[in-house]
Chains A and B, each alone.
Chain A
């Protein structure tokens, strides 16, 4: 798709572009400078050293394990929700929609406390698990649960937009040609919504990577068990600043990978047909 660029719009468009560029510069710089400063604040040697520290390695391994698992859970569990919201009208639809926005707008710390009240040792549901000898709070499982609650809305919203972008008449065409609902989904809805689903998965992964508050409250900060990269950054900050910065840089790289992936997929989606 061809978009207008500034030269297509003549001298007036060009003046507008220059004006807006000047007006935007302060905030853009303000957004970029901290990340540049972070990366610039340690030498490559220091960075390599901190990357090889046992705390960084175990935090990275735990982060990859938990976020990949929680992203898979977000996708598997979120897909039916996205289909429900994207394809059907029912009582309580608005309520469900608001519920899904809740983890995005509520402070993650509050989500963490709420998780503790539900699944902690004394929690509404957790106490029954405790009675049969299962404790969820302050385990690796709690890390995953916290990430799922915080990140799944991001998947659901993007997946829903992807599904709503599929012309329902194409699904009707498949049905009239004899396809059952399962086949309609896998041969028509899914392939056409796939870019939206993939982008949603990457956004959810990016959000899980940055999860801190809910994890802190619900899973605690135990190296090797619940200490993900963001928590390791905070712990290292108290004793070893360069280690903290090194781990922060690893975290930054992972997030950039996830976001660029989501962007590339969104672009291929626009140009596909």
Chain B
């Protein structure tokens, strides 16, 4: 059989399921990990079920390279077993009555004897050779995840979908397993769609990232695009940036961007009208007395919460504009930052990124 060059997975679908009103479109290119990130209940897993053929949307199209797997208008709907799409389930869905080897052999075509033998090779490749004949119920979380990945890959899918593959793991083991999983799926050479609600997973795995909120795609872009120019609060929260929607005056040089009660002085040549302002929390300076100097944006703000994170403290501020600041533990103590306290928050104009 001639193996076609790796091809892309396209999907667009609209459907209603309970409270969820889904309308999404995305494309995962060959050799790429596309991350679907969003809050729980936003429709990410539903997208995977539609792509895999476990769920038929009201209307939609799924294409994998040359093959049309679903086209509701043309009444094409290839059944899940014929789609050749791998799916790593949340909590893995390993067959509990089988060994690791039998799980991996399940999706390998051909005679059972051959499949069992081939499964051994896959298990070795995934560092599971010594655990091959153990019942999967007696494996650790990380081992189960590798068996689930090996089982999906052994069926030689043309695309791989992963549904929160790290969510079931302990915090202590998650980091090591994340690195391992990243290198394994990076080598597959097929389009991968990775669903997560975890900002770190999104940034680690996503060559490109699609943010899905309430069943809609709210932003698509490379990791850097999303990290630097977020357009929704959820995307801004992924990297922890301050995001403010503002209206920019016409003009040049230092200009006013109005966001509700707050006015930001910004540098934004070539832009006017509705814009986004974003800046890192570390760019927000705090002081007890009103500051003077080059920091041009100063807001009297009230501390809503102060959460210590190791050597720094993350502070939520209520003021003309809601802001997040990060300061060292030392300065938080000197400033007396406790909920209810008043402080002056300042941001330099040059620290604010302005974009449409």
A173 within 8 A of B: yes
A-B contact count (CB 8 A): 58
For window 145-196 of A, CB contacts with B under 8 Å fall at 167, 169-170, 172-180, 187-188, 191-192
Cβ 8 A contact of B89, one of A173, A187, A191, A273? A173
Cβ 8 A contact of A169, one of B53, B89, B109? B89
Secondary structure at chain A's binding surface: helix, strand, loop or mixed?
helix
**Stretch in contact with the other chain, from B80-88, B251-259, B304-312:** B80-88
For window 90-134 of B, CB contacts with A under 8 Å fall at 91, 93-97, 106-107, 109
A residues neighboring B (CB under 8 Å)? 167, 169-170, 172-180, 187-188, 191-192, 273
Cβ 8 A contact of A174, one of B85, B91, B106, B137? B106
Among A170, A172, A178, A188: residue with most chain B CB under 10 A: A178
Cβ 8 A contact of B107, one of A172, A178, A191? A178
Asked if residues B93 and A175 are in contact (CB atoms below 8 Å), the reply is no
> Which residues of chain B have C-beta atoms less than 8 A from A179's C-beta?
81, 106
Asked if residues B54 and A273 are in contact (CB atoms below 8 Å), the reply is no
Asked if residues B155 and A169 are in contact (CB atoms below 8 Å), the reply is no
Please, how many angstroms separate the alpha-carbon atoms of A175 and B49 in the complex?
A: 12
Cβ 8 A contact of B54, one of A170, A175, A177, A187? A175
Asked if residues A170 and B95 are in contact (CB atoms below 8 Å), the reply is yes
Cβ 8 A contact of A176, one of B85, B95, B96? B85
B36 within 8 A of A: no
Q: Given A192-B96, A192-B97, are A178 and B81 also a contact pair (CB < 8 Å)?
A: yes
Among A173, A174, A176, A273: residue with most chain B CB under 10 A: A176
CB distance from B255 to the nearest CB of A (A): 54
Q: Given A167-B93, A170-B95, A273-B97, are A176 and B106 also a contact pair (CB < 8 Å)?
A: no
Please, how many angstroms separate the alpha-carbon atoms of A172 and B137 in the complex?
A: 19
Among A169, A174, A177, A191: residue with most chain B CB under 10 A: A177
CB distance from A81 to the nearest CB of B (A): 24
> Which residues of chain A have C-beta atoms less than 8 A from B97's C-beta?
191-192, 273
> Which residues of chain A have C-beta atoms less than 8 A from B152's C-beta?
176-177
Asked if residues B96 and A273 are in contact (CB atoms below 8 Å), the reply is yes
Please, how many angstroms separate the alpha-carbon atoms of A191 and B85 in the complex?
A: 25
Please, how many angstroms separate the alpha-carbon atoms of A177 and B107 in the complex?
A: 5
Please, how many angstroms separate the alpha-carbon atoms of A188 and B96 in the complex?
A: 9
> Which residues of chain B have C-beta atoms less than 8 A from A174's C-beta?
95, 106
CB distance from B128 to the nearest CB of A (A): 17
For window 174-208 of B, CB contacts with A under 8 Å fall at none
Asked if residues B151 and A177 are in contact (CB atoms below 8 Å), the reply is yes
B236 within 8 A of A: no
Which residue of chain B lies nearest to A177 when distances are taken between CB atoms in the complex? B107
CB distance from A197 to the nearest CB of B (A): 14
8 contacting pairs across A/B (C-beta < 8 A): A169-B91, A173-B94, A175-B54, A175-B80, A178-B84, A179-B106, A192-B97, A273-B96
Given contacts A173-B87, A179-B106, 7 further A-B contacts (CB under 8 A): A172-B89, A173-B89, A176-B80, A177-B107, A178-B81, A179-B81, A273-B137
**9 closest A-B pairs (Cβ-Cβ)?**
A177-B107, A173-B93, A175-B80, A169-B93, A178-B81, A176-B87, A273-B96, A273-B137, A177-B155
CB distance from B56 to the nearest CB of A (A): 13
> Which residues of chain A have C-beta atoms less than 8 A from B137's C-beta?
273
Please, how many angstroms separate the alpha-carbon atoms of A191 and B94 in the complex?
A: 14
Please, how many angstroms separate the alpha-carbon atoms of A152 and B94 in the complex?
A: 33
Asked if residues B96 and A172 are in contact (CB atoms below 8 Å), the reply is no
CB distance from A175 to the nearest CB of B (A): 4
